[in-house]
Structure 1
Amino acid sequence: MQRAYTAAMTPPFLAPVGALAALLLTPVAAHAASPASPRIERLVLLMRHGVRAPLDGEVPPATRTGQPWPRWDAPAEQVTPHGAAALRALAKADRRWFAAAGLVAANGCPDPAVVRLWTNSASRTIASGEAYAAGFAPGCRITVGHKPEGTNDPIFEPLGAHPAAFDASRAVESIDRYTGGAEALTRRHAAGLKLLEQVLACPAAPCSPAEPSSVRPSEDGHGIDLKGPIRAASGTAQVLMLQYLEGLPPAQVGWGRATPARLEALGAVHGALFDVFSRPPYMAAFQMAPTVDRITQDLTATTAPKLDVLVGHDTNVAALAAVLGVPVKAPGFATNDPAPGGGIAIALVRAPNGGQAVRLWYRTQSATDMRAARDRTVWTPLRLAGCDEGAEHRCPLPQFLKRLEAATEPARD
C-alpha cells in the first residue's frame, strides 16, 4: 500500500533509521528537520499547469444543460488568478520540501545554476511557471524558460512536431489492444457517463452529444481521432472539476449537483481520455521520447541543475506514468486523472552500497487545498514493479534508464 506524505511532515528520506517505524505510525511530525548532508542529489519534476478557465470547445457545443453555465472571469484557456495563487502556495510548500531534502536553501534567491524552470510554449503553461517561480522564491528573479509562445516544443507536444517514425495505424492497433476498443472503453465508463447526465440535468436526455465510439488515424496521418461519448464527456467532466478547484460557490459547481464525491467519480471519465492518447504503449512511447531524453540528461549530465521543474499538461503526466508503469492519485481526484499542478518527481539518490539510484513520488495538492490555495502538498511514493529495493523503493539508476529506453523504443526506430 502506498503512503502519502504531506509537506508538513518530515520527508521519509530524512528520517533516522531508528525513527522510521515511529514516522510510519505517526501521521504528523512537528517540523521537517534538515539533513546533515543532502540525501537527494538531483530531482526532476514534470508537472501539469495550474487551474485554468475552460478551453474553447472543451464542453462540446451540442452539450445541453438544464441551466446556463457559470461565467468565468479569466479568458478561455488561461490560468485564473486563483489558479496562480494555488500554484504560488504549491511552490511555497515545494520549497520547504526541497530544502529539507538538501536541494536548495530554505530562504533567499536560489542559484540559477541549481534551479531550472522550463515550461511548454502555451500561454497557460508559461503563466503557471511564472506563478510557481513567484511562490518558490518571492522577490527573486527566476528565469522561466520556454520556446516562443505558440511554437512547438517536442518535450511537451511531441506529436505536434510530426515525428517521421509515427505510424497512426500502429497507434490505433496499440490503443485497441490496450482498451479493447473504443466501444469497450465507453462501456467501462457507463456509470460515470450516466452520472454526468444527472449533473447536466438537461430537459431531455441525452445531454451530451451522442455518436458512435471510434478511434482512427487523423486525416493528416500525424495523430489520432477519438469520437463518441468519452470524447464528448471528458472535457465536460474536467470543466466541472475546474469549477470546484477555482473556488466557485457550491451552488455554481455543477449547478449544486457536482459534490466533491461526484467530481472524483467523474474524473474517471476525464481520465479515460488518456487511455487513448497517453497510456497505450505505442502512444506513450511517442508522447514521452523527447521528455525521457530530458530526464536522462537531468540524471546523468554533469552540467544538469540539481532541480529541474518542467511545466506541461495532463497528457505529459499521464504518459510519464504509463512509461513508468505507475498510477497517479491525488486526494479528491480519480485514479490516473492528473491534477492541475500535480507532477511526478524523479530523484537521484545514493543506495546503501554507494551506487546511484532513483526514487519516485507523485506530488500534488489535494482538491480541497487547491480550492483554498493552501500551501500544503501530498507526496505519494511510487513503486516500480521489478525495480523496488528497500523501504525507500529505490531503483538502481542503470536499470531505471534502461526501462525508460525500452518503453520509448518504438519512437526511436
Structure 2
Amino acid sequence: MRRFVQRSVGMVTALAALSLPASAAIATPAGAAPGWTLDRVVVVMRHGVRPPTKAEALPEGLASAPWPAWDVGWGELSHHGEQAVALLGTFDRASYGGLLGSGCPAVRAVADSDQRTVRTAEVYVAALLPGCTVSVDHKATGETDPRFSSAGETSSLSSDQALAAANAALPRGGTAQLDHDLSPDWTSIDRILGCRAPACIAAHPTSLSTTGGKVKLGGALALGGSFSETLALEYADAQPMTDVGWGRVTRDEITRLLALHSWEFAVKARPPLIARAGAAALLDQVATALSAPDAPVFSVFVGHDTNMALIGGALGLHWHAPQFAVDDPPPGGALIFERWRSASGRYRLVLRFRSQSLEEMRTLAPLTPEALQPVIFAPCDDGIGCDAPGLRQALSSVEASRR
C-alpha cells in the first residue's frame, strides 16, 4: 500500500527558506563591458522526482521481486520531490533576486498538463516568490498541450528522415554494435533485477522504428534507459538503500548506468533534424518570453526530460549535472535563458544550466553556487551577442532550417 502524506506548499517553502543559500548575484556575461544589466529570465525545467508512470516499471518477468512502493500515485510528483523542487525555487530566488526585486513581481508560470509538471510549477513559484500568488497556466489533466508535445511538429518529418537521423547517432554497426558496446551494462542490470535467462535484458536486441515521424526505441536500450532512470528516482526520493534496486546497487553504479538514459535521448531526441522539429513550439514560447516588450521579467516553463533533450539537440547545447550522465536532464534540472541589456540598448543572451546532484536531491541539501553552470550557445556567444531581433532569430532558426 502506498503511503499518502499531506503537505502544504507553505510547509514545503518554509523548509526551503530555512536552507536559503548564500548565492552570489548572477555575474555579468563574460567579456561584457561594465553597465550590462540582467532584464529578462526564462527558465525551462523538468518536473521533480516522481515514481515510475506505472506499477510495473519494466515488462513482467524481468524483475525477480516486487517493485518498491511510493507515497503518491504513479507518475506524480513525490512528497520528497516537492521539497527538492522548493529548494530549486529558493536557490533561483537567491540567484535572481536582483531582477525579481521585492514585493510580488509579474512572473509567468506554464506547465504541461500532467500532475507532476503542474505541481512542480506550483511548488517552484511558491518558493521563488514567498507570500505571492502566481497562477500556473496549464491545460486540463490529460489534455495534450502543443507547447510541450512534439507530436505535431515531428509529424512534419517523414519516417525515412526520422529513422535516418536516429541511425546517424548510433556507432558504426548500428544497434547491434551499440548492444555489444553496452553489454557490461546489460549484465549489471540483469544482476540488479535478479533476472534469469532467457527473459533478461540482453535477450531483447535494441530496435528503432518510427511512427508519424517520431522515433521509437525498443529492446535493450529502451529497457535499460528506463531502468536506470527508475534507480535514480528511487535514490533521489530518499528511499532506503534496501529498496533502491532491491539493495543491489550503489549510487556510483546508478550514475554509470544513467549513461543509458542519455543514450536514449542521443538517438531519439537530440539528432538535430528530430530536435529542431520537436522543440520548435516550446522554443517559440521561449523566444517570445525573451523578446516581447510586454513579457514579464521572469518566466518558467515546466515540462519533461524529453523537452530539455529536444531543446539541447536543436540548439547544440550540452550540460553535465553532478552524479548524472552528460546531457541527461535530471529531475528539476533547468536550462536558463538570460537576456542582458547594455546602457546603449544592446542585448546579449546568456545560457546556463541549473541542477541538484543526486545526493542533494536525496538529502535535501541546499544548492551551492556551482549548481549554476554556463552553457555555450554559438549564435549568441560572448563574441557575437544577440540584439533584440537577434534573440528571436537565434532561437527560431530551428524553423528556418526545416524549410
TM-score tier (shorter): 0.7 to 0.9
The verdict on how the C-alpha distance between 1:209 and 1:190 changes in structure 2, with shifts beyond 3 A counting, is closer
User: How far 1:150 moved relative to its partner?
Assistant: 1.4
Quick one: which amino acid aligns to residue 40 of structure 2?
R
Q: Could you tell me how far apart the structure 1 residues matched to 2:399 and 2:175 are?
A: 24
1:13 to 27, 49, 52: 27
In 2 relative to 1, CA 286–300 (structure 1 residues): closer, same or farther, beyond 3 Å?
same
Identity of aligned residues (%): 31
Contact 1:63 1:208 in 2 (8 A): no
Which residue pairs with 2:239 in the alignment?
248
Mean CA deviation greater in 80-89 or 371-380: 371-380
Counterpart residue identity of residue 379, structure 1: L
1:205, 1:347 → 2: CA distance? Answer: 52
Q: Which AA in structure 1 matches 2:357?
A: S
Tell me how far 1:188 sits from its aligned partner: 4.1
- Structure 1 counterpart of 2:239, one-letter code: L
Match of 1:194 in 2: 187
1:312 and 1:252, CA in 2 relative to 1: closer, same or farther beyond 3 A?
Answer: same
- From the superposition, tell whether residues 386 and 294 of structure 1 become closer, same or farther in structure 2 (CA, over 3 Å): closer
TM-superposed deviation, 1:115: 0.9
1:337 is displaced (CA, Å) by: 1.0
Long gaps (5+) in structure 2? 1-19
Q: How does 1:1-400 map to 2 (within 5 A)?
A: 8-13=22-27, 39-56=37-54, 59-99=57-97, 102-105=98-101, 108=103, 110-111=104-105, 114-159=106-151, 161=152, 165-180=156-171, 181-204=174-197, 207-208=200-201, 210-218=203-211, 221=212, 223-350=214-341, 355-376=346-367, 378-385=371-378, 387-389=380-382, 395-397=385-387
Distance 1:133 1:353 in 2: 33
CA contact (8 A) 1:64 1:207 kept: yes
CA distance 1:105–1:165, shift in 2 (3 Å): same
Change (3 A) 1:37 1:387: closer
Q: Distance in 1 between matches of 2:293 and 2:270?
A: 32
Contact kept, 8 Å, 1:197 with 1:205, in 2: the verdict is no
Cα gap change, 1:269/1:184 in structure 2, threshold over 3 Å: closer, same or farther? same
Q: How far is 1:387 from its partner?
A: 4.7
TM-score (norm 1): 0.83
Following TM superposition, by how much is the alpha carbon of 1:147 offset from its aligned partner in structure 2, in angstroms? Answer: 1.6
Q: Which runs of 5 or more residues in structure 1 are unaligned? A: 1-5, 18-35
Letter of the 1:154 counterpart: P
Of residues 69-78 and 181-190 in structure 1, the stretch that sits farther from structure 2 once superposed is: 181-190
Paired letter, 1:133: V
d(CA) in 2 for partners of 1:234, 1:408: 30
**Deviation digits for residues 195-244 of structure 1 (CA, Å, limit 9, x no counterpart):** 222322334466337323221222xx353322121011111111111000
How big is the alpha-carbon RMSD for the aligned residues of Structure 1 and Structure 2?
Answer: 2.7
CA distance in 2, matches of 1:16, 1:200: 48
TM-fit CA distance, 1:354: 5.0
Distance of 2:35 and 2:54 partners within structure 1:
49
- Where 1:361 maps in the other structure, the secondary structure is strand
TM-score, scaled to structure 2:
0.85
For residues 291 and 58 of structure 1, do their structure 2 counterparts lie closer, same or farther at Cα, with a shift above 3 Å needed? farther
Partner of 1:24: none
* 1:216 aligned partner, one-letter code: S
2-side partners of 1:336 and 1:385: how far apart? 17
Change (3 A) 1:40 1:162: closer
Quick check: 1:281–1:407 contact (8 Å CA) kept in 2? Answer: no
- The change in CA–CA distance for 1:395 and 1:57 in structure 2 (over 3 A counts) is farther
- Check conservation: 2:64, 2:194, Cα contact below 8 A: yes
**C-alpha deviation, 1:67, in angstroms:** 3.5
Q: CA deviation at 1:137?
A: 2.5
Preserved CA contact (<8 Å) 1:323 1:404: no
Q: State how many pairs are aligned.
A: 377
- 1:355, 1:327 → 2: CA distance? 26
8 Å CA contact 2:51–2:75 kept in 1: the answer is: yes
| CA distance in structure 1 between the partners assigned to 2:177 and 2:400 by the alignment | 28
Separation (CA, whole Å) in 2 of partners of 1:303 and 1:76: 39
Q: Secondary structure of the equivalent of 2:100?
A: coil
Give CA deviations for 1:342-384 in whole Å, capped at 9, x if unaligned: 0100110135875211001001112111112234250000112
Give the whole-Å Cα distance in 2 for the aligned partners of 1:310 and 1:13: 23
**Distance of 2:206 and 2:191 partners within structure 1:** 21
